[in-house]
Structure 1
Amino acid sequence: MHPMVKPALRRAWRNLQYVQFGVTPAHAVVLGPVDTTTGSLIGLLDGTRGMELLRAEAAALGLAEGRLEALIDRLADAGLIADASVRPPGGRAGGPPDRAEAELDPVRADLASLSVVHRAPDGAVRTLAARRALRVQVRGAGRVGAAVAALLSAAGVGRVEVLDSGTVAPWEVSPAGLPAEAVGERRAVAARRLVRRAAPGGRTPGEARAAPGDGGGEPGLSLVVVTPRDGLGAYVPDPLPAEAWLAAGTPHLYAGVLEATGVVGPLVLPGGTACAGCMQRERVDREPVWPRLPAQWRSGAAHPLPACDVGLATAVAGLAAAHALAFLDGDLPSSVGARWEVSLPFLEWRTARVAAHPACPCGARPGPEGERVSAVRSAQDTMAG
């Protein structure tokens, strides 16, 4: 083991005895009392030394035998220790990374972030390694969907498939998604290339590709991200396509931009949280005439030029990808059973719970407590599978 105080957390002494690791309240930890000699030993925990060398350094500082181990245990209990000898997938084994390797590591910043979120010394590396075994399907390759696919691939998800038809239109390109040279190309082909380019270090063609057909219920699918190009299918989710995901137990997250409003969520855990059918039934309870409206919006030809602000689409894609990754890493983000919305020009994010409907056959239990319990169990079942 090469113990290292997690470098992502900035360190500052509050006084002569207490040291604070981290700046933001969500992750900052205050440790103390710490004497000057122990503070010097903390400074040596930078991942460049193994335990044998650290014991020699501790003895040279005049610390009693066992003080080093006690300090490391104390820091580890606070979630402040990482093991620099544990390398990320594809990295060099057998000790801490050399300077050249660390500077060129495309996932170095992601590992630093994961080390803050996951307390175990090897939590960041294990989480990143687990992402390589996951398969995610993104349905829609517009400004939101293409960016979500690229972000998931860049974050280390092993297989990102993109489903869409037709060819790339000029107004669908963006700095975060499909490039200008993809205009006129088949969306599936352009998305496959984007996903491959975004992957850390690149991948072989078999690891990241656009799926040729509908695979919503295929075994091994960890998550479906629904990102329709016109945004309507995210803002007003159609229960019909979701039936296959519900039947297969496939979690799915809605995200998109409609007119000048962006939406992320809900993240549906089949049998645990409210689904598209629940949302439709709840809306009909409030507005009996509601079914007429989406029926008209969905009928006929697709909208010729959906409004999709590039900045708003990028913000929505970023939030959707972050929520997807949190779920894939084993957590329950705030989009579980809820949806986030933001509208131009004021860009004030707001959230609303999405309640399970008692008449919906999806199996979700009405009520916040019932939904939370069901969501936890559903997520555990999903991760176990």
Structure 2
Amino acid sequence: MHPILKPALRRGWHDLNTVQFGLTPAHAVVLGPVDTATGSFLTLLDGTRGVPLLRDEAQRMGLPDGHVDALLERLTGAGLLDDATGGGPPAQALRKQTRVMDRLRPDHAALTVMTFEPAEGARKLAARHSMRVQVRGAGRVGAVVASVLAAAGVGHVDVRDGGCVEPWDVAPGGQPVEAVGERRDVSARQLVRAVAPVRPPRPDRRRTQERPADGEQEGALSLVIVAPRDGLAIHSPDPSAAEDLIAAGIPHLYAGVAEATGIVGPLVLPGGTGCAHCLLLGRTDRDPTWPRLLAQWRSGHACRQVQACDLGLATAVAGLAAAHALAFLDGELPSSTGARWEAAAPGLDWHARPVWPHPQCPCGAGEGGNGQETSVEEGPHDTMAV
């Protein structure tokens, strides 16, 4: 172990014996009392020395035996200590790729702030390279989400969509201007490859996705992002579009914009949290006319119109969705788990609406009476009669 005080946390002294690590309330830690000699010793925790050498340095500074081990244990318990060489072989291999690591240093710094154990941030960053994510939708939201995930170190990001790039699909970080007229999925995959710190091998077009070559195994999807270009498909997602994900037990996260309202979530854990079918059944319970409205809206006329999806809101949705996706891939459960975060322009006041498991949904999440009803969920009360 080569201990290092987490560089991402700024240090400041309240007084001669009290030091604060970090600026923000969510991650700041105040440590004290710290005597003058120990304060000087802290400067040696820069990742260049192993523990035996640190013990020798402490002895030369006149610190008592056992002081270094007690201090390291104290710093580890406070979540302030990282390990410059830890994280296992994948993390070690990543550190040796200097150009790649330079691209990912801000991501690594963020992970060290959000994690507790030494080298846990490096381990999670290295683990992203083996993750497989599919993004369904390559419009203003989906293409940006895909590029952010790839740039953050997710090793395999596949994008699925139909049709060709339209001028209104173009977005910073997403579909480029020169892609107009090209196939959406092809252009988005090229974008992903261009921004990835480590480019995955190009797919062999001679092979079908259903039948990998002998000796190869197609890795299971870690997560699917459902980012439809049609606003109705994100506001009221069609349960049949996610049947394959529910059946395979694949977690999936919805993200998009519907009529100038940004939506992120729910993150669906099949069999554990409310799904698109649960959402539909819950709305129908509160408003029996809801299926009739959906049938009219899905008649095909509205989808031919250009969607109300302004660029600022679309970019905000894509960024939030990517952040929630990365949190999940890193082993956490973001606040979109079983809930939808929404913000309507121009106020942009983000708020969460729970998506409760429904006892009649075949997904199984509501079995045993776990489904609940709440007046803050979406329903007919969200509309205004005039």
Q: TM-score under structure 1 normalisation?
A: 0.87
- The one-letter code sitting in structure 2 at the alignment partner of 1:276 is A
2:119, 2:366 → 1: CA distance?
37
Partner of 2:310: 309
- 1:126 pairs, out of 86, 104, 123, with 123
1:52 Cα deviation after fit? 3.4
2:311, 2:157 → 1: CA distance?
22
SS in 1 for 2:341: strand
Please list the CA deviations of residues 136-170 of structure 1 after superposition, one character each: whole Å capped at 9, or x if unmatched.
11000001000000111111111111000111011
- 1:136 pairs, out of 133, 137, 145, with 133
Pair 1:4–1:369, CA change in 2 (3 A): farther
Partner of 1:36: 36
1:192, 1:61 → 2: CA distance?
57
Contact 1:131–1:156 under 8 Å retained in 2: yes
Partner of 1:376: none
1:365 Cα deviation after fit? 2.9
1:102, 1:37 → 2: CA distance?
38
Unpaired segments ≥5 residues, structure 2: 211-217, 373-386
Partner of 2:8: 8
2:188, 2:42 → 1: CA distance?
47
Partner of 1:196: 193
SS in 1 for 2:112: helix
- The one-letter code sitting in structure 1 at the alignment partner of 2:181 is G
| 2:79 is the counterpart of 1:82 | no
1:202 Cα deviation after fit? 3.3
1:367 Cα deviation after fit? 9.4
Instruction: Tell me whether 159-168 or 12-21 shows the greater mean CA deviation.
Output: 12-21
- The one-letter code sitting in structure 1 at the alignment partner of 2:117 is A
1:236, 1:368 → 2: CA distance?
24
- The one-letter code sitting in structure 2 at the alignment partner of 1:49 is R
1:62 Cα deviation after fit? 0.8
For these two proteins, the number of residue pairs brought into alignment is 358
Contact 2:37–2:61 under 8 Å retained in 1: yes
Partner of 1:348: 349
Pair 1:297–1:194, CA change in 2 (3 A): same
Alignment of structure 1 residues 326-337 onto 2, 5 Å: 326-337=327-338
Unpaired segments ≥5 residues, structure 1: 372-385
SS in 2 for 1:263: strand
1:356 Cα deviation after fit? 1.2
Partner of 2:236: 236
Contact 1:358–1:366 under 8 Å retained in 2: yes
Alignment of structure 1 residues 199-218 onto 2, 5 Å: 199-206=196-203
| 2:299 is the counterpart of 1:299 | yes
Pair 1:127–1:233, CA change in 2 (3 A): same
Partner of 2:362: 361
- The one-letter code sitting in structure 1 at the alignment partner of 2:134 is Q
Contact 1:131–1:329 under 8 Å retained in 2: yes
Pair 1:367–1:142, CA change in 2 (3 A): farther
- The one-letter code sitting in structure 2 at the alignment partner of 1:5 is L
Contact 2:133–2:158 under 8 Å retained in 1: yes
1:366, 1:195 → 2: CA distance?
40
- The one-letter code sitting in structure 2 at the alignment partner of 1:136 is V
SS in 2 for 1:128: helix
Contact 2:356–2:371 under 8 Å retained in 1: no
Please list the CA deviations of residues 111-136 of structure 1 after superposition, one character each: whole Å capped at 9, or x if unmatched.
00001111111101110121111111
Please list the CA deviations of residues 306-332 of structure 1 after superposition, one character each: whole Å capped at 9, or x if unmatched.
121111001000100111111111111
1:116, 1:366 → 2: CA distance?
38
2:240, 2:109 → 1: CA distance?
41
1:56 Cα deviation after fit? 2.6
Pair 1:22–1:154, CA change in 2 (3 A): same
Partner of 1:225: 225
1:300 Cα deviation after fit? 2.2
- 2:164 pairs, out of 140, 164, 167, with 167
SS in 2 for 1:341: strand
Pair 1:89–1:50, CA change in 2 (3 A): closer
1:369 Cα deviation after fit? 7.5
Instruction: Tell me whether 331-340 or 15-24 shows the greater mean CA deviation.
Output: 15-24
1:203 Cα deviation after fit? 3.4
1:368, 1:27 → 2: CA distance?
38
- The one-letter code sitting in structure 2 at the alignment partner of 1:345 is P
Q: TM-score under structure 2 normalisation?
A: 0.87
Pair 1:103–1:226, CA change in 2 (3 A): closer
| 2:262 is the counterpart of 1:274 | no
Pair 1:92–1:318, CA change in 2 (3 A): closer
1:242 Cα deviation after fit? 1.5
| 2:69 is the counterpart of 1:69 | yes
Instruction: Tell me whether 232-241 or 49-58 shows the greater mean CA deviation.
Output: 49-58
1:233 Cα deviation after fit? 1.2
Pair 1:367–1:262, CA change in 2 (3 A): farther
2:63, 2:280 → 1: CA distance?
67
- 1:176 pairs, out of 173, 178, 186, with 173
Contact 1:356–1:367 under 8 Å retained in 2: no
Pair 1:328–1:184, CA change in 2 (3 A): same
1:103 Cα deviation after fit? 10
- The one-letter code sitting in structure 2 at the alignment partner of 1:342 is A
Q: Root-mean-square deviation (CA), in Å?
A: 2.3
1:85 Cα deviation after fit? 2.0
2:244, 2:36 → 1: CA distance?
62
Contact 1:102–1:108 under 8 Å retained in 2: no
* Percent identical: 60
Pair 1:337–1:103, CA change in 2 (3 A): closer
1:192, 1:80 → 2: CA distance?
39
